[in-house]
């Protein structure tokens, strides 16, 4: 009699095994081969590097703006000193230099920097692609928004128009506008 119960017991055991939860390794094997942990770790390292490069680009562009702002401030001081000394030619040159410096702030650097930006764009790198799509940034810009660019270009034009007969108060007033925009742009990213 025990022999007749053996096939029933075997079937019951097989059913129990089939219906029981499977170990993780068996589940993974059923789902397909897993990516080796070493490859996942390497990919994670690559992602960390890419994101670090993006942060480095932001830092570099902030430094370009800070240096440009410092240069513009020197031009402002030169203009004010020349006006005070009654040297119209030196005042005009300094005001023109100030206008050009403010224009470079608006474009996140000079033509050499624009060439690098073009190279990145040609390679498919858009630092602020989502912001470009939303109209917040011009193509390739990292820190300077369209709104900030517009304000800085307006100040650059206003300063350039003062070159023939600059007035210290007017230069100071326009510089305050520039400084406010730059200060906002240079705030740490959140």
What residue segments make up the domains of the chain, in order of their start? Answer: 54-190
What angle, 0 to 180 degrees and rounded to 10, lies between the N-to-C axes of helices 88-106 and 168-185? 20
Q: What whole-number distance in Å separates Cα of residue 99 and Cα of residue 106?
A: 11
Residue 10 in this model has a pLDDT that exceeds 70? no
For the chain, the straight-line distance linking the first and the last C-alpha, in angstroms and rounded, comes to 79
Determine the Cα–Cα distance for residues 52 and 56; give it in Å rounded to an integer. 6
pTM of this structure? 0.77
pLDDT for residue 50: 87
**Would you say 139 and 121 are in contact if contact means Cβ atoms under 8 Å apart?**
yes
Q: Assess whether pLDDT exceeds 70 at residue 5.
A: no
On the CB side of 30, CA atoms within 13 Å amount to 7
Predicted local distance difference test score (pLDDT) of residue 131: 87
User: How do residues 122-141 score in pLDDT, each as one tens digit?
Assistant: 998 888 888 899 999 999 99
Instruction: Round to whole Å and give the CA distance between 162 and 157.
Output: 9
User: How do residues 56-107 score in pLDDT, each as one tens digit?
Assistant: 999 999 999 999 999 999 999 999 999 999 999 999 999 999 999 999 999 9
* Res 54: pLDDT: 87
Q: Of 44, 109, 76, 55, nearest to 177 (Cα)?
A: 76
Closest listed residue to residue 99, CA positions, set 153, 168, 164: 153
Q: How far is CA 150 from CA 1, 31, 107, 136, in A?
A: 96, 55, 10, 12
List b or e across 114-150, with b for residues whose CB sees 16 or more CB atoms inside 10 angstroms. eeebeeeeeeeebbbeebbeeeebbebbbbbbeebbe
Report in angstroms the alpha-carbon separations of 157 from 81, 114, 125, 173: 21, 20, 31, 14
Cα–Cα dist 41/50, whole Å = 14
């Amino acid at each position: 009699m025990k022999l007749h119960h053996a096939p029933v017991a075997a079937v019951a055991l097989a059913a129990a095994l089939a219906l029981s939860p499977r170990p993780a390794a068996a589940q993974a094997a059923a789902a397909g081969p897993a990516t080796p942990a070493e490859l996942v770790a390497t990919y994670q390292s690559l992602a960390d590097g890419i994101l670090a490069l993006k942060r480095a680009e932001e830092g570099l562009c902030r430094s370009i703006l800070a240096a440009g702002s410092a240069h513009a401030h020197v031009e402002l001081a030169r203009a004010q000193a020349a006006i005070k000394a009654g040297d119209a030619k030196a005042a005009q040159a300094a005001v023109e230099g100030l206008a050009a410096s403010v224009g470079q702030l608006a474009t996140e650097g000079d033509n050499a920097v624009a060439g690098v930006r073009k190279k990145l764009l040609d390679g498919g790198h858009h630092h602020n692609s989502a912001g470009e799509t939303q109209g917040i940034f011009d193509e390739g810009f990292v820190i300077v928004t369209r709104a900030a660019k517009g304000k800085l270009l307006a100040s650059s034009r206003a300063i350039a128009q003062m070159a023939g007969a600059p007035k210290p108060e007017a230069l100071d007033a326009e510089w305050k506008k520039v400084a406010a925009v730059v200060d906002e742009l240079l705030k740490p990213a959140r």
